């Protein structure tokens, strides 16, 4: 196991990344990228929106394992307004009721839903061994900023109700999101007072900056599945008329991070979003927030949802799960 497979304090992790020379590409990643190149698929942003969403589900499914069996699931609507928010509650095998985990999916604020992240949430529920609630939020462009942010905030404010539905008798909880979901988790918490915060946020290859180019966007913006044109499409549809530097979206620009919860940051070395994720973790640390970092130097953006092609994803899922279970009540 290399340093990049270990969870380290953020400053130590950054030193290790800076000491690393050259690009590391896992053998399975190389095979996947070659398959993608040979398939010569039409970019999602060139498809009609409805077709792009269907194709996203199809492509995601090709890289996934069969759904793991869990103890039970329950689909629940939350919210007091006209727009009810769909959620799915998972109880994994060996589940205790000591705490709750809320998960917010990725998909560039345009794609994805509870169903498309069902398999990942099942894996987390079985490994964290706590109830997991997956949140579905309104998607752009039908519902541009701040609709998704508002929905995630609503879910946070409904945490007590969700815990009661899950049979959790404590007020201990964690919040987890990947990619766009990681952005929404942190952005929503920054909009809410600390008494509404979880004990832990887990940000998995999060988008943190719409307004600047970075070294990783330059290096990995073509040929690594999440390309520059796709990211630009996501940004345009989600932000609408919002200034890309607005800190409610570009959370890296937020000036008041000190009240953020303790954080586990997960980044992938072959990810255009890697640099901005690391920069956000560093800024949280500088604001006095406890930050641990798991940097997977040889993996791609979105790898946790690609376990059939990238078996290492299961090992990382276990690492994250063990960390959450151990640290959620600290």
* Strands (DSSP E) found in the chain: 7-9, 72-78, 85-91, 100-104, 132-135, 173-178, 200-204, 262-268, 291-296
What is the residue-wise DSSP string for 95-139? Answer: --SS-EEEEE--STTTS--TTTTHHHHHHHHHHH-S-EEEEP---
Instruction: Give the bridge partners for 73, in sequence order.
Output: 90
Q: Record the tokens describing residue 45, joined without a space.
A: 């942003």
> Cis peptide leading into 141, omega within 30 of 0?
yes
- Residue 74's SS3 state is strand
Measured CA to CA, the distance from residue 106 to residue 142 in angstroms comes to: 17
Alpha-carbon radius of gyration of the chain: 18
**Per-residue CA distances from 283 to 8, 247, 277 (Å):** 16, 14, 10
Are 249 and 190 in contact by the 8 Å Cβ rule? The answer is: no
Other beta carbons within 10 angstroms of residue 58's beta carbon come to 9
What's the angle, vertex CA 295, arms to CA 290 and CA 301, rounded to 5? Answer: 115
Measured CA to CA, the distance from residue 10 to residue 13 in angstroms comes to: 5
In terms of Cα–Cα distance, which of 296, 190, 320, 199 is closest to 252? 190
Are 105 and 47 in contact by the 8 Å Cβ rule? The answer is: no
Active-site residues, by number, are 179, 271, 301
Q: Record the tokens describing residue 203, joined without a space.
A: 């940000």
């Amino acid at each position: 196991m290399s340093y990049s497979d270990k969870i380290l304090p953020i400053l130590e992790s950054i030193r290790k990344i800076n000491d690393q020379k050259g690009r590391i590409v896992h053998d399975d990643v190389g095979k996947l990228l070659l398959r993608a190149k040979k398939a010569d698929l039409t970019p999602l942003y060139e498809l009609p929106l409805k077709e792009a969403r269907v194709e996203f589900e199809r492509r995601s499914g090709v890289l996934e394992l069969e759904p793991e069996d869990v103890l039970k699931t329950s689909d629940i609507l939350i919210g007091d307004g006209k727009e009810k928010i769909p959620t799915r509650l998972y109880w994994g095998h060996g589940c205790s009721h000591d705490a709750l985990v809320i998960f917010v999916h990725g998909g560039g604020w345009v794609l994805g839903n509870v169903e498309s992240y069902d398999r990942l949430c099942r894996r987390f529920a079985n490994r964290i061994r706590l109830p997991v609630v997956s949140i579905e939020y309104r998607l752009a462009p039908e519902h541009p900023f701040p609709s998704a942010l508002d929905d995630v905030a609503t879910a946070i404010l409904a945490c007590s109700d969700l815990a009661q539905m899950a049979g959790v008798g404590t007020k201990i909880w964690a919040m987890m999101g990947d990619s766009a979901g990681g952005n929404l988790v942190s952005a929503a918490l920054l909009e809410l007072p600390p008494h509404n915060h979880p004990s832990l946020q887990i940000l998995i290859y999060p988008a943190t900056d719409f307004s600047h180019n970075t070294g990783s966007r330059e290096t990995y913006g073509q040929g690594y599945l999440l390309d520059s044109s796709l990211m630009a499409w996501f940004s345009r549809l989600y932000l609408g008329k919002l200034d890309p530097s607005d800190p409610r979206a570009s959370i890296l620009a937020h000036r008041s991070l000190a009240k953020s919860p303790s954080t586990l940051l997960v980044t992938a070395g072959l990810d255009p979003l890697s640099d901005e994720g690391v920069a956000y973790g560093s800024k949280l640390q500088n604001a006095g927030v406890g930050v641990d970092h798991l940097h997977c130097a040889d993996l791609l953006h979105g790898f946790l949802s690609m376990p059939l092609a990238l078996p290492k994803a299961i090992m990382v899922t276990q690492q994250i799960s063990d960390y959450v279970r151990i640290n959620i009540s600290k």
